[in-house]
Amino acid sequence: MFEPFTDVVPSFFGWLNQGPLTLTIFLHTVIILPMIWIYFQEKKRLENEN
Amino acid sequence: MASNHLTGIGSESKQLATWYFTFAAILFGAQLLFGLVAAIQYVMPGFLFEVLDFSVARMLHINALVVWMVFAMFGAVYWLLPDETGIETVGIKIGKLLYWIFVAAIAVVVLVYLFIQVGPADETSIWFIHEGREYIEAPRWADFGIVVVALGFVGNLFLTGIKGKQTGIVTVLMADMIAFAGLYLAGMFFTDNITVDQYWWWWVIHLWVEATWEVYVGSIAAYGLITMIGAHRKTVEMWLWIEVAMLFGSGILGLGHHYFWIGTPEYWWEIGALFSALEPLPLVAMFIHVLYDWGKTQGAEMNAEHTDEDNVRSVIKNKPAFTWFVLNAFGNFLGAGIWGFFHTLPQVNLYTHGTQFTSAHGHLAFFGAYATILVGMMYIAIQGTNGIKVMKHTKSSIWAVSMITGGVVGMTVALTIAGYVQVLVSRAQMGATWAGYFDGQSGMWFAQAMDWRLIMGAVTFIGFLLLVKDFLSTGKNPVHER
Amino acid sequence: MANKSVWSDNRFWQRSAAWVTGFASVLLIWLTFDTSAQISMGNDADLQNGVTKRVPGPTVINYKITYEMSQKRGHEVPIIGGNDGKGMSLFQEKETFFGRDDWSEEEAAELLHLGKLGTQAKNCMNCHTLLGNGAYYAPDLTKAWLDPAWGPNGSMQAMTGKDTKEEAMAEFLQHPSQYPTHERMMPNLGITAEEAKGIVAFLKHMSSIDTNGFPRNFAKIQGAVHGK
């Protein structure tokens, strides 16, 4: 299931590199996801203000 | 507070801004002049050989570029601070003193570059002549000077921002400028390990031009839209926050696209490729935002004056500055966005890395993203210091903007063609050897591209002369509404 | 205001900007620690024990260096001291550098230090590219040490009249304008014999850095002096 390392030294980020784009999609996801939480917090605040 | 921007008279901060702009314009000229020398050397390699070699001309070309932009950036902040915060800039005396220190230091550095050029292979050369690291060649003593000057500038910005009204624009600038100054420290040490050297070197170069400088441009564009066309502050600042999120979101890890081939691990291929591929998105956003706001405010103006259709006024209060700002929106997207994306994927970059492709991108990006908006700010300052209500184009302002833009676009196209020759002949076909390099360089397409680059460089320079003429004369021109 | 959308709310974007910037910065710092560990310079013991480092120790100048395809990596890698047949270095085969193949760790480090200082003081990067970065007025120096032009049958070595690659390179560096190779010439930069030695050591060391396969197909067209 897991791809073997091809780089010189194994590392966490090298391990996330499991095939086309896995590493970068993972990083993009963890950056974007918390914005959903911020969105709902702000939505609640706006509703309370009304 | 809102109408204060129309006049720089009586504001010491704005006076200091004009000093910064003046020296920036002089260095801009120096940049173009040494660029021309280097361009001539591509066409006639014997030109000034062992007098002012390509390495020296090129070092002065790119250093003058960086420094004039930093000067104009500092100037623009000193210009807008009183408008945004509603108070006079704190610590303006120190600001003025630091300005002269900065100017004197640069004069010394330039003279040493010109007349000493190279030193022996020891630490004294690094301390007193230059560091030999592209873009941040300034010798170590000047590094410390730059840090002191930058700290003074950031200090003034923070003290003013905290004491006065803290708008969104000021908040973004405060956060951005401290990162901008702090990052310089990453480029101040020596190491024998060239990979480590270039790793930190890119922290300065990339995190400046593809992150902090871009956010700076976002703030300046926001200020410009408010002052020039009366755009709605709340809308403008919302866009600014979106741009900050997108620029830093893509730009910070986009740094990875410089770590493909310098000895750093392979995982940077993915990180660099995808994050930097998203870097054009905020630039599209900025472009849309500028044109949208223009259309919106103009539309509102026309509705308000519907009784007199023939007499609808333009909402633009400074035509030349606004022209440069719109060019910035275009140029940033084209030069930084499109030309950057061309060669940002590792599969492509394997062959384009270190070719004239980079140079083509560099020319259009620095011009489109930074030179344009900073020249625009200079026009805003001319409007303010001369108490002009509505500033119009003059013949020379139109010729200047047309020739400079045409010249830079022409150089970019020529360099892109030269880059293709290098990629195909020197790289893909010949495998990047010494012989392969010169096979590519002596190809007809390459040689002709370099001829065109020189011609277009000359066009740019003539445009610059007209720009200076306009700077010096337009303030007193009776065409403007006062 | 009845129902204001979150999407047009300044606070939402402000907080998002702060989050994205902060988190991306944290990731970059984490990545920097990870990368720094991988790009720190190796030492002589690594070479003795056959440990492959991305940036080998300075004593790599005692070894034969080539640039060959690695099946595992899928691109060319520097091979130090002979190939095990699968694209891994054997760290066996030596090669003299200015007549010696027993440069001690201190001597080699000193030479590399001098060479690195030399490349900066002489402003190499504002004509050449190093690891692909710099100006584009002169050839890339990343694998210059492995360039066939400097090899036994190469035009550059023949022109300087020297018997070895390192001596030919050092001679050229000291008197570049005596050896016009092209209309575009390298100027005389006042490089001394000792500095030239250091700079050549720096170039040899740089050719041993694992650049993830850049440049691709290096010197393959001309009969591939060092590769296959």
For B257-268, what is the HEC assignment?
Answer: HHCCCCCCCCHH
Contact present, B277 and B345 (Cβ < 8 Å): yes
Q: Which two tokens stand for residue B268?
A: 């940077």
Q: Which two tokens stand for residue B390?
A: 């509505």
% of chain A exceeding 70 in pLDDT: 96
Query: What confidence tens digit (pLDDT) does each residue in C102-129 have?
Result: 999 999 999 999 999 999 999 999 999 9
Per CB-CB distance under 8 Å, the chain A contacts of B275 are: 24, 27-28
In a domain, B308, yes or no: no
State residue B84's pLDDT score.
94
In a domain, A2, yes or no: no
State residue B8's pLDDT score.
61
State residue C94's pLDDT score.
96
State residue B3's pLDDT score.
42
Other beta carbons less than 10 A from residue B119's beta carbon: 24
Q: Which residue has 């020297």 as its token pair?
A: C162
* The one-letter amino acid at C119: T
In a domain, B16, yes or no: yes
Is the pLDDT reported for residue C199 higher than 80?
yes
- As a whole number of angstroms, the distance between CA B228 and CA B236 comes to 13
In a domain, A22, yes or no: yes
B311: confidence class by pLDDT, cuts 50, 70, 90: low
State residue B309's pLDDT score.
57
The tally of domains found in chain A comes to 1
Instruction: Name which residue leads in pLDDT, B298 or C160.
Output: C160
End-to-end CA distance of chain A: 52
Cα dist from C188 to B154, B442, C76, whole Å: 43, 23, 34
Per CB-CB distance under 8 Å, the chain C contacts of A34 are: 19, 23
A43 in contact with B at a CB cutoff of 8 Å? no
Q: Give the relative orientation of helices B54-85 and B372-385 as an angle to the nearest 10 degrees.
A: 50
User: What is the span of the domain harbouring residue B73?
Assistant: 1-166
In a domain, A5, yes or no: no
Is the pLDDT reported for residue C225 higher than 60?
no
A31 in contact with C at a CB cutoff of 8 Å? yes
Minimum Cα–Cα distance from C9: chain A residue: A42
Chains with 3+ CB–CB pairs under 8 A to B are: A, C
Output the domain CATH number for residue B26.
1.20.210.10
Is the pLDDT reported for residue B9 higher than 70?
no
Contact present, B256 and C24 (Cβ < 8 Å): no
State residue B76's pLDDT score.
97
- As a whole number of angstroms, the distance between CA B454 and CA C77 comes to 39
Cα dist from B252 to B206, B245, B324, whole Å: 8, 11, 27
State residue C224's pLDDT score.
40
The tally of domains found in chain B comes to 1
State residue A15's pLDDT score.
87
Find the mean pLDDT for residues B166-176: 95
Query: What confidence tens digit (pLDDT) does each residue in B60-105 have?
Result: 999 999 999 999 999 999 999 999 999 999 999 999 999 999 999 9
State residue B292's pLDDT score.
86
Contact present, C95 and C82 (Cβ < 8 Å): no
Query: What confidence tens digit (pLDDT) does each residue in B111-139 have?
Result: 999 999 999 999 999 999 999 999 999 99
Per CB-CB distance under 8 Å, the chain B contacts of C136 are: 354-356, 358-359, 422
Domain ranges (residues) in chain C: 44-222
State residue B285's pLDDT score.
85
Please, which residues bridge with residue C133 across strands? C130
In a domain, B147, yes or no: yes
Q: A15-19, B11-15, B460-464, C183-187 — which is least confidently predicted?
A: A15-19
The whole-chain average pLDDT of chain C stands at 92
Contact present, C28 and B203 (Cβ < 8 Å): no
Is the pLDDT reported for residue B216 higher than 60?
yes
User: What is the span of the domain harbouring residue A18?
Assistant: 12-49
With b meaning 16 or more CB within 10 Å and e meaning fewer, what string describes B264-285? bbbbbbbbbbbbbbbbbbbbeb
Contact present, B195 and B265 (Cβ < 8 Å): no
Is the pLDDT reported for residue A3 higher than 80?
no
**CA of A5 to nearest chain B CA: how many angstroms apart?**
10
Query: What confidence tens digit (pLDDT) does each residue in B261-306 have?
Result: 999 999 999 999 999 988 888 888 888 888 888 888 888 877 776 5
Which member of C1, C9, C73 has the closest CB to residue A42? C9
Topology given in CATH for the domain delimited by C44-222: Cytochrome Bc1 Complex; Chain D, domain 2 (1.10.760)
State residue C222's pLDDT score.
54
State residue B4's pLDDT score.
45
DSSP state at residue B312: P
Query: What confidence tens digit (pLDDT) does each residue in B176-193 have?
Result: 999 999 999 999 999 999
Find the mean pLDDT for residues B195-208: 96
Cα dist from B192 to B129, C110, C113, C144, C198, whole Å: 19, 10, 5, 18, 12
Find the mean pLDDT for residues B206-219: 95
ipTM of the complex: 0.95
Cα dist from A31 to B54, B342, C25, C31, whole Å: 44, 25, 11, 15
* The one-letter amino acid at C144: A
Q: Which two tokens stand for residue B75?
A: 């100037």
% of chain B exceeding 90 in pLDDT: 86
Per CB-CB distance under 8 Å, the chain B contacts of C40 are: 193, 196
